[in-house]
Homo-oligomer: A and B are copies of this chain.
Amino acid sequence: MLNILKKHIEKFAQVSDNDFEEIKKFFDIRDFAKKENLLEEGQVCRHHYFVLKGLLRKFYINEKGTEQTTEFAIETWWLTDNFAYEHKARSDFYIQAVEPCTIVYISQDNQEQLLQAFPIMERYFRFVYQRAYAAAQKRVKYLFSLSKEEFYWQAVRNYPEFIQRVPQYLIASYLGFTPEYLSEIRKRHLS
């Protein structure tokens, strides 16, 4: 199963089989049940999570007491509260398994030791962050330029399997809709 991580590393950095045998010792692996929290608000954010199987989401509780989902992660995506992770600080976020998940994770200390022992992994993580940052920049543009309804239909067109896979009420939570409003705009579109 860790082969998924190895393949992902090899997309960006050359790592021999022998190296990977050492590299993988810096990681842990665990299954999480559906709705299980990997991180909770107020906890120190200790880990960086890589999805081998399943679907994670990150959310916070807003001032109205409702869950605002800010990110999802599917297979081969990394997810954490990056600011809290780098500074070993308490997080404002929850990270939760949307489906039963198998997750590889690494602590900040282990990640730093890994990077010291295998500097080639700097290249891997440089690409991971570079792409995540580019995606976040695109998202900020969408948040300004598209209405939430346009954003939804764009996602339906561009990521149909993703929209199929994520429960409706979580898509609503990501868009800042009520679930009722989301089913309303879906109905309006079909009629």
| Partner-B contacts on A (CB < 8 A) | 60, 62-63, 68, 70-71, 81-83, 86, 92, 115, 119-120, 122-123, 125-126, 129-141, 143-145, 176
CB of A95, distance to nearest CB on chain B (Å): 12
Interfacial chain B residues near A176, Cβ < 8 Å: 144
Cβ distance A94 to chain B, nearest Cβ, rounded Å: 13
**Which of B62, B130, B134, B145 interacts with A63 by CB under 8 Å?**
B145
Q: Which residues of B contact A132 (CB under 8 A)?
A: 129, 133
Q: Is the interface of A mostly helix, strand, loop or mixed?
A: helix
How many copies of this chain sit in the oligomeric assembly?
2
Q: Give 5 nearest A-B pairs by CB, closest first.
A: A136-B136, A129-B129, A82-B134, A122-B122, A126-B126
Contacts of A135 in B (CB 8 A): 83
Instruction: Give the chain B neighbours of A143 by CB distance below 8 A.
Output: 140, 143
Q: Which of B63, B122, B130 contacts A82, CB < 8 Å?
A: B130
Q: Let me know if A137 and B63 touch, CB within 8 A.
A: no
Inter-chain contact A140/B137, CB cutoff 8 Å: no
A68 vs B132: C-alpha distance when bound (angstroms)? 22
Task: Report Cα–Cα, A68/B143, bound state, in Å.
Answer: 12
Pairwise interchain contact B122-A126, C-beta atoms closer than 8 A: yes
A144 CA to B120 CA in the complex, in Å?
37
Q: Name the one of B62, B68, B83, B115 contacting A134, with C-beta atoms under 8 angstroms.
A: B83
Do the beta carbons of A145 and B82 come within 8 Å of each other? no
Q: Which of B70, B92, B133, B144 contacts A133 (CB 8 A)?
A: B133
Most buried by B among A122, A135, A140, A144: A122
- Least distance between A67 CB and chain B CB atoms (Å): 11
Contact assessment for B81 and A137 in the assembled complex, using a CB-CB cutoff below 8 Å: yes
**Complex: A27 Cα to B137 Cα, angstroms:** 24
Q: A115-B123, A132-B133 are in contact. Are A144 and B70 (CB under 8 A)?
A: yes
